[in-house]
Amino acid sequence: MASLSQKILDYVTRDGYRPEKPKSLSKKLGITKKHQADFDSTLHSLVAKGRLRFLDSGRVAVTVPPGYVLGVIQKTSSGAGFLIPHEPRPPQLVGDVYIDRRDMHDAQQGDEVLVRLISGRRGGGQRCGIIVDVVERATNVFVGTYFVEGEAGWVDIDGKNFNDPIWVGDPGAKGAQDGDKVVIEMLRFPSVGKKGEAVLTEVLGPRGKTGVDTLTIIHEYGIPDEFPDEVLEDARIEAENFDPDNVEDREDLRQETIVTIDPVDARDFDDAISLTQSKDGHWHLGVHIADVSHFVQPGTALGREAEKRGTSVYLPTKVIPMLPEVISNGLASLQEKHTRYAKTAFIEFTAEGVPVHTRFANTAISVTKRFAYEQVMPLIKAGKAAKGKVSADIHQLLCNMYKLAMILRKRRFESGALEMDLPEIKLDFDKEGKVCGAHEREHDESHQIIEEFMLAANIAVATELSRRKLPFLRRAHGEPNELKLKVFGQFVQSLGFEIKNVQSRRDIQRILNEAKDLPEAQAVNYALLRSMKQAEYTPFDVGHYALAEDDYCHFTSPIRRYPDLLIHRLIDGILSDRKTHQGSSEEELVRLGRHCSTTERRAERAERELTKIKLLSFLEERIGTELDAVITGVDRFGFFCRGTELPAEGLVHVSTFPQKDNFDFDRDVMTLTGRRTGQVFRLGDRVRVAVAHVDVDRRELDFQLVKQLGHAQPKPKSRRTQTEKSSKRTTGKKTVSKQSKSKGNQRSHKKSSSRKNSASRKKSNRRRSS
C-alpha cells in the first residue's frame, strides 16, 4: 500500500492537476478526521523537503523542475509578456524573462505561470521563455463595457490587457444595455487565434453614473464589501455582551490624562497616548491600542472574515472596513469620554530617549481629549496663550509628547533610519464623488509625534517577542538589491552629489538631506524609491532596512490590519501564560504573511486605480489643459510624468517632443539626451505638459510636452567627470528617433470601428504605517 506522502505526490503530479487548498486536497484523497493531523504533518514535511510548495494563496503545488522558472506575468499591450521570477531565482538569471505573444498561450496579467527557458535571447542578452502552464490565475472575474453586435453580447474589458472583446452569449443577459459596466466570469481565456468566452454575472450600471467607478474597482480587485450575516451576528453579540463597567481583569487607567491625534475626518481610533516624566528625568510613555482581540476571537465567523479581508481598504469616497462598523467605529474605537478596552505598551526612556524598560498590560482607558492633527502644533507653539483653549494638564502633555518625539526622531536618524520626502496630493471631491480639485496633504510635526510613538511601540513589542523566541509575523523590509543601489549611486553622482558608500544608510540619508529644498530633491527621492524593495509580512528575521531595526512588527492598528490582531493575540498569550495563545506555527505564519502582504498590495492598487479613473474622468473633458509635472519614469520611448498640483500620471512620447532630434536613453542615470540639441530629460525634472489624449476605459493618459521648467544641473566639478564617463560608456544606451515610436508602446486599436463608434455614442449620452 502506498504511503500517505506518495498518495499526495501521485495526486498533485498527475496531468491536469490544478493547485488546491490543503482542506480540499485532503477531502479528495479521502482523509478522515481521525487522520487529518497525519495529513497536515506529511504535507508540511513534503514542503520542507522541497517536494511541494505553498502558493501565496495557500494552495498546494509541485516544485519547479530544472530549466524552468516560476513567476508572475506582466503583459504588454502588444500581447507579449515579461515574467517576473519568484525569489530565490535560478542562478545566472538576471532580470525578467521575455515571452513572445505566440508563446503566451492564454496567460493573462498577474497570473502565476511556469516558464521553460529557451536558448534564444533578445538584445542586451535578455533571456526568453515559453509558458508551459498557468499555475494560478490572478483572477477569473473582470469588469468591462457591454455592447451588442451581430446578435450577440460582447464585453470590452477595462484596461489594456485584452485587445479584443469577450463573447458573453445572447444579448440582454441580466438586463444589460449598451454602455453598461458589467461583471463577467471568464470561461475560456483568449489566446492567439482564439476568442475568449465568459458569462455575465452582474450589471453595475451605466458608464459614468455616480458610484459605478467605485463598484468597478471593488469587483475588478475582488474586494469583499458587504459582510455575511453570520459575521454581523457575531459583531452584534459582542456589542450586547460588552460591559464598559467591567474592568476587573484590566489595569484601570480611566483617570489618566490620555489623548488621541488623528485626521479630522477619522472615524476609527486605533491609538491613544499618555506620557509623564519622573524626577530622574525618565520618560514614561503609554501607547494604548484598541483591544480588538477581545472582540475578535480565533475560530469565530468574525475572526475568519477579518483574516480573509486582511486589511481595511481606503478608496476615494469609500472605506471598506476589515471589521463591521459596530466594532471598528464603535466598541473598539478609542472614542473621547468613553470607556474602552486597550492593549497598552508602557515604555520607559531615559532623558536622552534610550529605552530601558517595557511592559504590556490589558487596560481600560477613557480618552480625555481627541485632537485633529491640525490642532496640535498651534497649541504647542502658543505657550501660555493656550490657556483657556485646553486644560493645563493636556497642554503639558502635548508639549511633553512633542519634546520626547523629537528626541526619539533624532536618535532614529542618527542610528541610520531613512526618510524619503515625496509630497502627497489628496483629491477633493464634490457631492457626486467627482474630482473638483486637489491639495497637498500636510505632514507637520504633529504627524511625526504619533509616528515616533507608534514606531517605538512596534519596536518594543517585536523586541520582546523576539527575546522570548516566539514565532511571530514581522513587518520586514529587506536590503535593496546591490545592483539597484549601484544604479542609484551612479544617478546621484550624475547630479553632482558625492556618495562614498552607496550601501550605507547614513550616506544615503545624507544625500537626501543635502538634496532637500534643492531642484534635485524629487529626482533623488524618486530614484531611491525605485531602488527599494517592498515591505512585507513574514515570520523570517529579515530586519527592516529603512528603519534600521532588527526586530519590527505591526501592533498599533488592529482595527484595520490583521497582522496587528495576530500580534495582540500573542500579547494575550504572554499576559495570560496560556499556551493556547502562543501563536501559530512557522508554516502557518508563512501562509498568513503571504496572504496579508497580498491583501495589503491589493488594497493599495485598488486605491491607486480608482484615483486614476476619477482623475481621467476629470481630464476627459479638459483636453488641451496645461499643468506642471515631475518626471517619474524614463524609458527609450519617452517619459512618464505626474502633475504637481493634480496627481495625474501620463506618458509623454518622444515623438511629441517639440524639437526634432534623436534621443539616447541611458538606463544607468535615467536620462534621454538629444544628440543634436543636447536636450536632457531626467528623472525628477520639472516639465509643463498639456493633456493630449484620455481613454478612461483603457486607463490611458497621454501628455504633450509644452516646455521644460527646471532641470537638475550637475555641480560644475562633477560635470566634467560625468561627461568623460558618458563619452566612454557605450553599453546601456539606446537610440530612439523622435520620428519613430517604440513598438512596445504603440496603442492597440484592434477593436472594430463600428463597435468603437457605437460605444462612443453611448459614452457621450491616516493611515499610519511603516
3-state helix, strand, coil in the chain (%, to 5): 35, 30, 40
- What's the distance, CA 84 to chain centroid? 17
Rounded to an integer, the average pLDDT of 461-474 is 96
CA-CA distance, 52 to 470, in Å (whole number)? 26
Burial 289-324 (b: 16+ CB within 10 A, else e): bbbbbbbbebebbbbbbbbebbbbbbbbeeebbbbb
How far apart, in Å, are the Cα atoms of 544 and each of 476, 477, 549?
Answer: 5, 4, 5
Cα torsion for 747, 750, 751, 754, to the nearest 10°? 110
pLDDT bin (cut points 50, 70, 90) of residue 719 is: very low
pLDDT tens digits for range 59-114: 888 888 788 898 899 998 888 999 998 877 777 788 899 999 999 999 999 999 99
DSSP state of 715: P
- pLDDT at 405 > cutoff 50: yes
Choose among 688, 682, 579: nearest CA to 629. Answer: 688
Q: What pLDDT shows up at residue 257?
A: 97
Digit-coded pLDDT (tens) for 595-616: 999 999 999 999 999 999 999 9
Can you give the pLDDT at residue 751?
Answer: 42
Does residue 39 have a pLDDT over 60? yes
Task: State the Cα angle at 715 between 638 and 525, rounded to 5°.
Answer: 55
What residues have CB less than 8 Å from 6, skipping those under 6 apart?
Answer: none
Give the position of cell 476615494: 316
One-letter-per-residue 3-state SS of 686-711: EEEEEEEEEECCCCEEEEEEEEEEEC
Say if residue 432 is exposed, middle or buried (CB neighbours under 10 Å; 0-12, 13-18, 19+): exposed
Q: Compute the distance between CA of residue 296 and CA of residue 561 in angstroms, rounded to an integer.
A: 13
List the one residue out of 540, 593, 571, 21 whose CA is nearest residue 307.
593
What pLDDT was estimated at residue 757? 42
Of 526, 488, 747, 725, nearest to 640 (Cα)? 526
- C-alpha span between 563 and 323 (Å, rounded): 14
Helix pair 505-515, 521-531: axis angle to 10 deg: 150
CA neighbor of 645 nearest in space, from 424, 320, 433, 323? 424
pLDDT of residue 378: 95
Of the ranges 4-18, 262-276, 492-506, 519-533, which is most confident? 262-276
Can you give the pLDDT at residue 483? 85
pLDDT confidence bin for 581, thresholds 50/70/90: low
* pLDDT score at 12: 85
Tens digits of residue pLDDT in 507-540: 999 999 998 888 788 889 888 998 999 999 999 9
CA dist 389 and 398 (Å) reads 13
| pLDDT number for residue 45 | 85
Please write the tens of the pLDDT for every residue from 367-379: 999 999 999 999 9
Residue-wise pLDDT for 146-176, tens only, equals 999 988 999 999 998 898 999 999 888 899 9
- Helix/strand/coil for 659: coil
| Mean of pLDDT values over 559-576 | 95
Whether residue 464 contacts residue 416, with contact meaning beta carbons closer than 8 Å, is answered with: no
Average pLDDT of the chain to the nearest whole number: 88
pTM of the model: 0.83
Is 560 a residue whose pLDDT tops 70? yes
Residue 762, pLDDT > 60, answer: no
DSSP secondary structure letter of residue 502: T
Q: Check whether 394 has a pLDDT greater than 60.
A: yes
**pLDDT tier for residue 717 given thresholds of 50, 70 and 90:** very low
